[in-house]
Amino acid sequence: MNSLNIYYKYILIEKELIASLKQGEASAFKVLVENYQDRVYYSVLNILHNAAEAEDTAQETFIQVYESISGFKEESSLATWIYRIAIRKALEKIRKHKNRQRLHSIVPWWMPSEEKSVDAAYLNPGINNENKEKATLIFKAISELPHNQRVAFTLIRVQGMKHEEVSEIMQLSIKAVESLLSRAKENLKNKLKHYYTS
Amino acid sequence: MKNISNEQFEHEMNIISNLKEVGAPNFFYTRLKARMEKENLSNELASTFQPILVICALTLFLFMNSLFLKNDSNIVNTNSSQEIEAFAASYDQTISN
């Protein structure tokens, strides 16, 4: 790590980092990516359930950040703004994938099938061996939830974010987030009852 | 079928809660930078060549158009004199008085 990076990482406060980014400083962008790449990648990985798609989406997130930082009004924290972009990009990916699947079912000779690329027996790398089977089942059930419920549940239950943070990222009230979480739980219970009661 | 109790559900969800965070793949920034440079280059190329392509397409369109118009006017001239003659012949008359 060079001295300039250390300078940016430890001396500059967020506002100064934003100002440097707005001026198009490459080293500030590098610091931003290094600071947020793990969290952004992990968030989109938990939503997309596919490592390659998650990396692609994380890259798209940072490209979007780089291109639109001049329009960032600082009404929320930089982290919240970046997360918001990341989640939106991840949801766009899911929608595109679903559209492609739909098109594939109509004109299979035109659209190649991508069914194996997303959600196929996803296993979070942090899961230990003894829970693998159950975890795969739970993640499959989560991937079948409606988009908003999936995002709220993943950010709160899998990533351990606070309700307030998630409400800012999703631009919803805390009550709305709680409602999404509660509906997600009910849906998951229904989806998983076949497994747990058999 | 029996529903899952809240306690059982919460217990099962602990499997996927508080997991060790997985970091971005190695060389993430390097790959991101390469992608940005590639996209910049393709954007630059597109913005450089787009006006040239548009002008070429427009010139080709105008040229083809003028070619068709020229051919069309020849056909119309030939056809019109032939048609008049045929019309006159059908009434057993000549074109000139």
- Final residue of a structural domain among A69, A84, A118: A118
- The whole-angstrom distance between A105's CA and the closest CA on chain B is 32
Judgement on whether residues A41 and A93 belong to the same structural domain of the protein: yes
CB pair distance less than 8 Å for A192 and B12: yes
- pLDDT (tens, 9 = 90+) of chain A, 198 residues, equals 566 665 555 555 788 889 989 998 888 999 999 999 999 999 999 999 889 999 999 999 999 999 999 999 888 889 999 999 999 999 999 888 888 888 877 877 766 655 544 455 577 777 777 778 888 889 889 989 999 999 999 999 988 899 999 999 999 999 999 999 999 999 999 988 877 666
- Final residue of a structural domain among A56, A84, A118: A118
Judgement on whether residues A162 and A78 belong to the same structural domain of the protein: no
Structural domain of residue A13, as residue ranges? 1-118
Q: How far is A88 from A91, CA to CA, in rounded Å? A: 5
**Is there a contact between A44 and A61 (Cβ–Cβ < 8 Å)?**
yes
Judgement on whether residues A68 and A6 belong to the same structural domain of the protein: yes
Judgement on whether residues A99 and A125 belong to the same structural domain of the protein: no
Judgement on whether residues A32 and A126 belong to the same structural domain of the protein: no
Q: How far is A192 from A190, CA to CA, in rounded Å? A: 6
**Is there a contact between A9 and A32 (Cβ–Cβ < 8 Å)?**
no
- Final residue of a structural domain among A90, A118, A146: A118
B contact test, residue of A61, A62, A145, A190 with most B CBs within 10 A = A62
Q: How far is B15 from A128, CA to CA, in rounded Å? A: 9
**Is there a contact between A118 and A50 (Cβ–Cβ < 8 Å)?**
yes
Judgement on whether residues A93 and A141 belong to the same structural domain of the protein: no
Of A194 and B38, the one with more pLDDT: B38
Partner A contacted by B21 (CB < 8 A): yes
> Model ipTM?
0.78
Judgement on whether residues A112 and A125 belong to the same structural domain of the protein: no
3-state secondary structure of A171: coil
Q: How far is B66 from B63, CA to CA, in rounded Å? A: 5
Judgement on whether residues A191 and A167 belong to the same structural domain of the protein: yes
CB pair distance less than 8 Å for B16 and A138: yes
Name the residue among B4, B24, B39 with its Cβ closest to that of A189. Answer: B4
CATH code at position A70: 1.10.1740.10
The set of long-range contacts for A48-53, using a CB threshold of 8 Å and a minimum separation of 24, is: A48/A90, A48/A93, A48/A94, A48/A118, A49/A118, A49/A119, A49/A122, A49/A139, A49/A143, A50/A117, A50/A118, A50/A119, A50/A120, A50/A122, A51/B25, A52/A117, A53/A93, A53/A117, A53/A118
Judgement on whether residues A133 and A68 belong to the same structural domain of the protein: no
CB atoms within 10 A of CB B1: 9
The count of domains in chain A is 2
What is the chain B residue with the closest CA to A123? B16
Judgement on whether residues A126 and A95 belong to the same structural domain of the protein: no
Judgement on whether residues A112 and A132 belong to the same structural domain of the protein: no
- For the entire predicted model, the pTM comes to 0.73
